């Protein structure tokens, strides 16, 4: 008698997936992290926070808003130690990890260091920065900062903010004031409960003249008693979609006076006599925005990798239905349609990760150039052109990378079936916490249009023969407009495809803009009228840009198994995105219908090929079980055991039912009352019968 083959456990299944990978996982992980040093530091950080009581994550799904805020504050002391004792480079890597482990804390701490301190660094003079550093802004011993930019009625339109800062020459002070409800500072992280000072963005007025939005350091609370300062009104804006560990609040100022020296004067200066000196190069203020956008590209990759670690491991161990003559049920990851659901998203997360690494280098080079640049610099125009291009590119990347990540998280959730809907899968919290990335630091649609505006300008410059910055240099090649595929679908063919289609959609937007100008529209009206074309231009350019940076990164690597695997991943990303945007490739003739069918076949084959190394590839993301915080994605594959244990531990049954006596028992034991029939009580039927008989008698 033949006995059926025993079904392998989920742990055995995952171990088999890891057997004999075609590449060295450690080397692959080093490549994805940029250096061995960065990977070693990440592993060190993961070990540290896994043992830190304040970074306990397993119970986070069952904490209240107030408990989450308190837990967030518990982490501050340990992070202050690191920020004051580590190099900036090391601390930034630490915060990258914190960002995917606990986004609420990353944001709250980032408000104090990334935004408030960042505002000081980018806007203060050297003496002003020293002044605030001496008063404890770095160690949070004297100043806990927040970033008061957005208002109830204004967010993305910073130039339209309505809080005022009026210079009083007599007292040498600025008077900060909220003129009406719409000017109330809103969504201010840290304002509700924890901040002592704010970097307040307000319209500066001197001698009755407005000089635009400037930044003013304004004290909110007494640092000894924590009572509000005179004229400052603060409230809590309450529960949000996610990131409940952040105490977002609102602030209203009623004629609050701050010393003139509290205005950050690196770019614009106001003298004791009220003389306002504007910066010779207003574009230099762009630089302050690039750091945040760069970090969000990296965070998009890391957060997507976190979700994919869970979804891919779960797909490897979950078996559903026996196919063909197989005795065993089939692993989800072996179904072609499931490979289609997840493998392109893996490729996209890796592509964005390499883009983030290269963008960080570009940002550091740009920052160094800006810090040392003088108005008389002979390379001034080249640096400014590159700054504008980097500013626009970072806007597009921030938008489309954060959108891609949010979409990835939800697709990963759906791919895990019903279990993905459980809070303990961690997908609901991941989604709720990440969603804000699509709207803060610039609404994604607005940023896309900014990127599109820049591309329209770049096309105009290319037509005039100007040599463009590297990110848009392909627009200088006029032959791309009518380019055709060589049908190889190689990396170079894919790159040419994106350059061709991007050139065409940018050309369309630019020509539409010019046509509108000629019809009598103003520049602003013409730009608004061609918004959809600008948006499409930004989207196609950005996807092609991500592909190009990924392709360049893997082609620069030593030719080994790791680089060959990454070239396969790059090819999958480039072709999958062509398939996703196929209308444009057909419209502009780079590919015909038959070639597009070949693209689909290639994506199918590449998904199957990447599936073969999916678990080793996911392992190279180097995310610990503590960081992913999901039993469905356990490294050892103990999915069901871990899930059951967590649910049981977090939801013990009470000894006494909380509402049986009050609600359930009366429902079960209720007695149906005999309802009196009004008709019978009235004798209505007999009465109607008598009336009818009387009628007949007549």
Residue 89 has pLDDT above 60, yes or no: yes
Question: Cα(218)–Cα(257) distance, rounded to whole angstroms?
Answer: 9
Mean pLDDT of 594-613: 96
Instruction: Confirm whether residue 189 is marked as ligand binding.
Output: yes
pLDDT tier, 352 (very low <50, low <70, confident <90, very high otherwise): very high
According to DSSP, residue 228 is labeled B
The CATH-assigned architecture of domain 444-628 is Up-down Bundle (1.20)
Query: Which of residues 453 and 60 earns the better pLDDT score?
Result: 453
Name residue, tokens 């790791």: 562
At residue 319, the pLDDT reads 84
Q: What predicted TM-score, i.e. pTM, was given to this entire model?
A: 0.88
pLDDT tier, 389 (very low <50, low <70, confident <90, very high otherwise): confident
Q: Where are the alpha helices (DSSP H) in 318-419?
A: 336-372, 380-415
What are the residues whose beta carbons fall under 8 Å from the beta carbon of 355, sequence distance 6 or more?
297, 301, 397, 401, 545, 546, 549, 550
Joined together, the tokens standing for residue 510 give 């630019």
Question: Cα(263)–Cα(232) distance, rounded to whole angstroms?
Answer: 18
Joined together, the tokens standing for residue 359 give 């963008």
Each residue of 153-178: pLDDT tens digit? 987 678 889 999 999 999 999 999 99
Mean pLDDT of 679-696: 84
Mean pLDDT of 266-283: 83
Each residue of 223-256: pLDDT tens digit? 999 999 999 999 999 888 888 888 899 999 999 9
According to DSSP, residue 61 is labeled G
Q: Where are the alpha helices (DSSP H) in 581-657?
A: 582-587, 593-611, 614-619, 625-628, 639-650
Query: Which of residues 182 and 115 earns the better pLDDT score?
Result: 182
Residue 364 has pLDDT above 80, yes or no: no
Question: Cα(502)–Cα(494) distance, rounded to whole angstroms?
Answer: 12
Mean pLDDT of 264-277: 90
What are the residues whose beta carbons fall under 8 Å from the beta carbon of 659, sequence distance 6 or more?
none
At residue 510, the pLDDT reads 95
Reduced to 3 states, what is the DSSP secondary structure of residue 252?
strand
Lowest mean pLDDT among 179-183, 294-298, 395-399, 534-538: 294-298
Each residue of 548-588: pLDDT tens digit? 999 999 999 998 999 999 999 999 999 999 999 999 999 99
pLDDT tier, 509 (very low <50, low <70, confident <90, very high otherwise): very high
pLDDT tier, 602 (very low <50, low <70, confident <90, very high otherwise): very high
Mean pLDDT for the chain? 89
Q: Do the first three CATH levels of 141-270 and 444-628 match, i.e. the same topology? A: no
**Sheet of strand 185-189, all strands in order from the earlier edge strand to the far edge:** 185-189, 248-253, 232-236
CATH of domain 141-270: 2.40.110.10
Instruction: Kindly list the catalytic residues.
Output: 441
Residue 23 has pLDDT above 90, yes or no: yes
Mean pLDDT of 499-515: 96
What are the residues whose beta carbons fall under 8 Å from the beta carbon of 677, sequence distance 6 or more?
none
Query: Which of residues 4 and 231 earns the better pLDDT score?
Result: 231
Mean pLDDT of 684-689: 85
Mean pLDDT of 38-67: 89
pLDDT tier, 7 (very low <50, low <70, confident <90, very high otherwise): confident
Beta bridge partners of 256: 176
At residue 141, the pLDDT reads 82
Q: Where in the chain are the domains?
A: 141-270, 444-628
pLDDT tier, 373 (very low <50, low <70, confident <90, very high otherwise): low
Strand 256-259 and strand 209-219: the pairing is: unpaired
116: left (phi > 0), else alpha (psi -120 to 50), else beta? alpha
pLDDT tier, 5 (very low <50, low <70, confident <90, very high otherwise): low
Each residue of 291-326: pLDDT tens digit? 677 888 989 999 999 999 999 999 999 888 877 777
At residue 1, the pLDDT reads 45
Q: Which of 363, 169, 376 is nearest to 275 (CA)?
A: 169
Instruction: Confirm whether residue 150 is marked as ligand binding.
Output: yes
Each residue of 523-552: pLDDT tens digit? 999 999 999 999 999 999 999 999 999 999
Entry field: residues in the chain: 698
Query: Which of residues 117 and 515 earns the better pLDDT score?
Result: 515
């Amino acid at each position: 008698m033949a006995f059926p083959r025993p079904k392998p456990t989920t742990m055995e299944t995952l171990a088999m997936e890891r057997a004999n990978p075609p590449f060295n996982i450690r080397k692959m992980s080093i490549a994805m992290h940029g250096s061995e040093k960065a990977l070693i530091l990440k592993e060190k950080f993961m070990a540290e926070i896994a043992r830190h009581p304040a970074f306990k994550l397993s119970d986070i799904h069952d904490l209240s808003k107030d408990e989450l805020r308190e837990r967030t504050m518990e982490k501050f002391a340990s992070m202050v130690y690191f920020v004051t004792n580590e190099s900036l480079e090391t601390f930034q890597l630490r915060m990258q990890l914190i960002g995917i482990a606990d986004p609420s804390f990353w944001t709250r701490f980032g408000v104090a260091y990334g935004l408030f301190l960042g505002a000081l660094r980018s806007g203060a003079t050297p003496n002003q920065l020293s002044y605030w550093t001496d008063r404890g802004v770095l160690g949070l011993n004297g100043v806990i900062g927040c970033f008061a930019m957005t208002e109830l009625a204004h967010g993305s339109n910073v130039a339209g903010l309505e809080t005022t800062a009026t210079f009083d020459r007599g007292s040498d002070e600025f008077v900060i004031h909220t003129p009406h409800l719409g000017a109330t500072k809103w969504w201010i992280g840290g304002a509700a409960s924890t901040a002592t000072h704010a970097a307040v963005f307000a319209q500066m007025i001197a001698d009755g003249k407005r000089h635009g939005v400037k930044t003013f350091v304004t004290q909110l609370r007494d640092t000894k008693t924590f009572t509000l300062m005179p004229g400052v009104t603060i409230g809590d804006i309450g529960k949000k979609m996610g990131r409940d560990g952040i105490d977002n609040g609102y602030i209203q100022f009623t004629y609050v006076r701050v010393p003139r020296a509290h205005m950050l004067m690196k770019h614009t200066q106001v003298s004791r006599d009220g003389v306002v000196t504007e910066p010779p190069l207003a574009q230099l203020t762009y630089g302050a925005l690039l750091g945040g956008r760069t970090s969000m590209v990296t965070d998009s990759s890391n957060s997507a990798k976190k979700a994919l670690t869970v979804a891919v491991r779960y797909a490897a161990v979950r078996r559903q239905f026996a196919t063909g003559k197989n005795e065993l049920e089939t692993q989800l990851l072996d179904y072609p349609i499931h490979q289609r659901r997840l493998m392109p998203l893996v490729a996209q997360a890796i592509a964005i990760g390499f883009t983030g690494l290269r963008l960080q280098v570009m940002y550091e080079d740009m920052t160094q150039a800006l810090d040392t640049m003088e108005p008389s610099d002979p390379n001034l125009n080249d640096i400014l052109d590159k700054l504008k291009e980097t500013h626009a590119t970072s806007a597009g990347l921030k938008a489309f990378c954060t959108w891609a990540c949010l979409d990835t998280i939800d697709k990963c959730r759906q791919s895990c079936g019903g279990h993905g809907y459980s809070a303990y899968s961690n997908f609901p919290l991941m989604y709720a916490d990440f969603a804000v990335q699509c709207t803060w630091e610039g609404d994604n649609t607005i940023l896309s249009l900014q990127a599109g505006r820049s591309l329209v300008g770049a096309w105009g410059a290319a037509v005039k023969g100007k040599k463009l910055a590297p990110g848009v240099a392909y627009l200088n090649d006029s032959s791309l407009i009518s380019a055709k595929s060589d049908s190889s679908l190689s990396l170079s063919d894919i790159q040419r495809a994106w350059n061709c289609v991007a050139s065409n959609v940018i050309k369309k937007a630019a020509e539409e803009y010019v046509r509108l100008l000629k019809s009598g529209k103003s520049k602003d009206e013409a730009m608004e009228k061609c918004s959809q074309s600008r948006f499409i231009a930004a989207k196609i350019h950005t996807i092609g840009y991500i592909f190009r940076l990924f392709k360049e990164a893997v082609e620069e690597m030593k030719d080994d198994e790791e680089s060959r695997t990454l070239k396969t991943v790059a090819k999958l990303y480039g072709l999958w995105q062509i398939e996703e945007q196929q209308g444009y490739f057909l419209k502009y003739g780079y590919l015909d219908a038959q070639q597009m069918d070949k693209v689909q076949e290639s994506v199918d084959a590449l998904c199957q090929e990447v599936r073969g190394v999916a678990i080793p590839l996911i392992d190279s993301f180097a995310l610990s079980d503590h960081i992913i915080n999901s039993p469905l994605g356990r490294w050892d594959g103990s999915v069901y055991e871990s899930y059951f244990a967590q649910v049981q531990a977090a939801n013990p049954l009470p000894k006494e039912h909380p509402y049986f006596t009050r609600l359930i028992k009366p429902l079960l034991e209720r007695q149906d009352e005999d309802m009196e029939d009004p008709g019978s009580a009235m004798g209505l039927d007999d009465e109607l019968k008598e009336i009818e008989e009387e009628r007949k008698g007549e």
